[in-house]
Amino acid sequence: MRRVLASVVVLLALPASASANAALAPLDYAAPTASVSRGAPLTFAVRTAAPDGSVVVRVSGHDEVDADGLLTGPDGTWLDETAAQATTDLAVWSVPADSVLRQRPGHYYWQAYLTGDAATSAEEPVGPVQELTVTLPYADKGRGTLFPKYGRRGATQRFYLSSAGFPGTVTGARFQKVVRTAASRWGLRALRWTSVEAGVRDGFNVAGFSSSVEAGVLGVQTDYVKRGKVVESDLALNASENWNAGPDYPALDQIDLESVVLHELGHMAGNKKHRARCTNSPMIEALGAGEWWRGARDKWFDTCAASAATVGSKRFAHRIARVDSAPLR
Ligand SMILES: [Zn+2]
């Protein structure tokens, strides 16, 4: 707001020849800054001489733009809000406290553009795209042990990391970091790399990716049980998913790797029950794209009033494979 005196007020009514002046900028952004804290007040302010009701703020989860330079993307990944005229040359949109934009940490992209007669007479009716990062306060970051609050602690389980079948979106180094951290939060321990495949009964506890996981299932945790005793425990993540390896939060079309690993390793720690969708727990039954649970105050679930099926959430699965028919020794 301190840019008031320095900013250039543009006369949109100038004839086309005069508006060819390169110094003219029809939409001059005064706020917000590039980064705001979750929950903090958030106001988009655009300095312009355009009449009331003709300035729209568009915010998107993607930086993709169409031929006109307008942010675009699948339905539901961007929003438009008409800014209100605050002074003769300032249009603002004060974002309500319950808006996704003030509640959900992450990276967003925004711009202002003109509509109606103001757009027709403007040389550049679409303003430049700016990035906005909504940050989570450090104290709210997900870390620390998950037992006993969300389940019991893993007893003696140790498992290998499978190097087989990695998707292009996840590096080995990142996977190792995510899994090791999640394992320690459950009292488990991730061991060295192996080329052994995850989700195959081979005598090794293995966590990794697999192309054999059915579509719509994020990961399958399998316990191989012999005479009532778990003799092998595997975790196979769906290699075909659009994974967000972090540490950034997932985009609206990405599945959060850390959330899924925390969930699945909870099973490996011996917690077999699922909780209802949107419960404050890593053991929820389903997770949608763009959602995460990394800690009690580091979580985001979209449209919790709707059922998992109607919002396109993906399931978690675990299975108990009985191997009692194996030869007795
Ligand atoms: Zn599960």
pLDDT-derived band of residue 304, with 50, 70 and 90 as boundaries?
A: confident
Cα(270) to ligand 1 centroid in Å equals 11
Cα(242) to ligand 1 centroid in Å equals 19
**Backbone torsion region of residue 266, taken as left when φ is above 0, otherwise alpha when ψ lies between -120 and 50, otherwise beta:** alpha
Residues 86-108 have pLDDT tens digits of 999 999 999 999 888 999 999 99
Cα(101) to ligand 1 centroid in Å equals 29
Cα(53) to ligand 1 centroid in Å equals 49
Cα(263) to ligand 1 centroid in Å equals 6
In one-letter notation, the amino acid at residue 122 is A
Residues 317-328 have pLDDT tens digits of 666 666 554 333
Residues in the chain: 329
Interval 57-83 mean pLDDT: 92
Instruction: Tokens for 273, please give them.
Output: 């029950």
C-alpha 172/C-alpha 248 separation (Å) is: 17
Residues 180-194 have pLDDT tens digits of 999 999 999 999 999
Tokens 């052994």, residue?
196
Cα(233) to ligand 1 centroid in Å equals 13
Is 233's pLDDT higher than 90?
A: yes
Instruction: Tokens for 77, please give them.
Output: 């990944």
Cα(266) to ligand 1 centroid in Å equals 8
Cα(316) to ligand 1 centroid in Å equals 5
| Mean pLDDT estimate for the chain | 86
45 or 123: which leads in pLDDT: 45
Q: What per-residue confidence (pLDDT) applies to 322?
A: 60
Cα(216) to ligand 1 centroid in Å equals 13
Interval 111-118 mean pLDDT: 95
Question: Smallest Cα–Cα separation from 112: which of 62, 64, 50, 67?
Answer: 50
Is 289's pLDDT higher than 60?
A: yes
C-alpha 150/C-alpha 140 separation (Å) is: 17
Q: What per-residue confidence (pLDDT) applies to 216?
A: 85
Q: Give the CA radius of gyration of the chain.
A: 25
Interval 11-38 mean pLDDT: 64
Read off the pTM: 0.83
Cα(81) to ligand 1 centroid in Å equals 39
Neighbours of 197 (CB within 10 A): 20
Interval 245-270 mean pLDDT: 94
310 or 115: which leads in pLDDT: 115
Cα(287) to ligand 1 centroid in Å equals 10
**Residues in CB range of 18: below 8 A, 6 or more apart:** none
Instruction: Tokens for 228, please give them.
Output: 């009532």
Cα(76) to ligand 1 centroid in Å equals 27
Q: What per-residue confidence (pLDDT) applies to 73?
A: 86
123 or 308: which leads in pLDDT: 123
Cα(317) to ligand 1 centroid in Å equals 5
Q: Give Cα 67 to chain centroid, integer Å.
A: 27
pLDDT-derived band of residue 249, with 50, 70 and 90 as boundaries?
A: very high
Q: What per-residue confidence (pLDDT) applies to 286?
A: 86
First vs last C-alpha separation in the chain: 78
Cα(224) to ligand 1 centroid in Å equals 16
Residues 148-203 have pLDDT tens digits of 999 999 987 799 999 999 999 999 999 999 999 999 999 999 999 999 999 999 99
